[in-house]
Amino acid sequence: MIKTRGKKKNNKTILIILILLTVITIIARPLLKKKPEKPVQKPPAEKKTPYAEKKPSPPPEKKRPAESYIAVIVDDVGYPAGAIEQFAGFKGKITFSVLPFLAHSREYADLFHRKGFEIMLHIPMEPLSYPEDDPGFGAIFTGETKTAIAIKMQRMLDNVPHIRGANNHMGSRATQDFQLMTWALSALRNRNMFFIDSLTTPESRAYDAARMLGVDTAKRDIFLDNREDFSSINAQFEELKDIAIERGVAIGIGHIQSKNLVDVLNTQLPLLEKERISLIFASEAVLLRN
């Protein structure tokens, strides 16, 4: 007879083990599950302004220069004039342009130089109104040869002491002649001097000739004393200030015979500092313009 007790016992043991494994699996399953990951929160999207709501940037504001400059040239020095002492006592910068060969040319050039002012040569040249208006002894005329003009220029430059540069006296006909002006201004280039076109005619070629030669140059902006009264000269000076503020530098020309001119300058001098405008010499204006 076959024995079965031991086999039954083994089957019972295996069944118990299976039951225990099942229980353990059921209990451990929740513990083995991973905690669900939290969703990554994205930063809120930037709120964009609709195109229609965007305002265009304002245009850059046009600013005036930090400081503006005015050069005042006083022409016709050498003639007898009642305002010589008043001009000599002026406390700001002025450039005096001296006519050659006159009785007081060297005397006044020396006086103003001692007072610390700048000296220029006032070159007499043929006007359209010649011979009704005579530019004076030694003037340059159209039709003259290159050699004759060179000799005249050397004599003028040697006659007036302390000069740093030059401008034209009259010359509305001569300055329209480009070749003549290149001949005349070559003498300035040889002495490293500047030239300012007095612009006695809108047809002047003097500035162009100076540029072609490599001479430092500029143009006059305002004649200050075409009318000899205080209010008119002061109004012209106010216009000169407007040009200086707009462009940075302005050049005005007056005349030694004008007592009202020096009165206007003395009146304007304390105002200029408040308006951030400085008086400078003609040579400085030329450098700032170039």
Note the pLDDT tens digit of each residue in 208-262: 999 999 999 999 999 999 999 999 999 999 999 999 999 999 999 999 999 999 9
Nearest to 65 by CA among 244, 242, 248: 248
* φ and ψ at residue 77, rounded to 5 degrees: -70, 130
What is the pLDDT of the chain when averaged over all its residues?
A: 87
Give pLDDT, residue 122: 98
Angstrom distance (rounded) from CA 123 to CA 185: 10
106-163 pLDDT, tens digit each: 999 999 999 999 999 999 999 999 999 999 999 999 999 999 999 999 999 999 999 9
Query: What pairing do the DSSP bridges indicate for beta strands 68-77 and 277-280?
Result: parallel
Using an 8 Å Cβ cutoff, are 138 and 124 in contact?
A: yes
Q: What is the mean pLDDT of residues 270-287?
A: 97
pLDDT at position 48, please? 46
pLDDT band at 50 (very low <50, low <70, confident <90, very high): very low
pLDDT score at 271: 97
pLDDT of 1 reads 44
Residues in the chain: 290
Which letter, b or e, does each residue of 234-261 get, where b requires 16 or more Cβ atoms within 10 Å of its Cβ? Answer: bebbeebbebbbeebbbbbbbbbbbbbb
Three-state SS across the chain?
CCCCHHHHHHHHHHHHHHHHHHHHHHHHHHHHCCCCCCCCCCCCCCCCCCHHHCCCCCCCCCCCCCCEEEEEEEEEECECCCCHHHHHCCCCCCEEEECCCCCCHHHHHHHHHHCCCEEEEEEEECCCCCCCCCCCCCCECCCCCHHHHHHHHHHHHHHCCCEEEEEEEECCCHHHCHHHHHHHHHHHHHCCCEEEECCCCCCCCHHHHHHHHCCCEEECCEECCCCCCHHHHHHHHHHHHHHHHHHCEEEEEEECCCHHHHHHHHHHHHHHHHCCEEEECHHHHHHHHC
Strand partners, 253: 73, 223
Whole-number Å distance between alpha carbons of 185 and 32: 104
pLDDT at position 71, please? 98
Tens digits of residue pLDDT in 125-135: 999 999 999 99
Query: What pLDDT digit, counting tens, does each position of 158-210 carry?
Result: 999 999 999 999 999 999 999 999 999 999 999 999 999 999 999 999 999 99
- Model confidence at 277, pLDDT cuts 50, 70, 90, reads very high
Residues 186/213, Cβ–Cβ less than 8 Å: yes
pLDDT at residue number 2: 44
Is residue 169 within 8 A of residue 75, CB to CB? The reply is: yes
pLDDT, one tens digit per residue, over 60-79 is 554 555 699 999 999 999 99
pTM greater than the 0.75 cutoff: yes
The pLDDT of residue 223 is: 98
Q: What is the tens place of the pLDDT at every residue in 178-192?
A: 999 999 999 999 999
Domain topology for 68-289 = TIM Barrel (3.20.20)
Query: What does the alpha-carbon distance between residue 157 and residue 152 come to, in Å, rounded to a whole number?
Result: 9
Decide if pLDDT at 281 tops 70: yes
Q: Name the band, by pLDDT with cuts 50, 70 and 90, for residue 290.
A: confident
Count of beta carbons in the 10 Å neighbourhood of residue 117: 20
Domain parsing of the chain, residue ranges: 68-289
CB 283 within 8 Å of CB 194: yes
Question: Which residue is associated with the tokens 């000296």?
Answer: 119
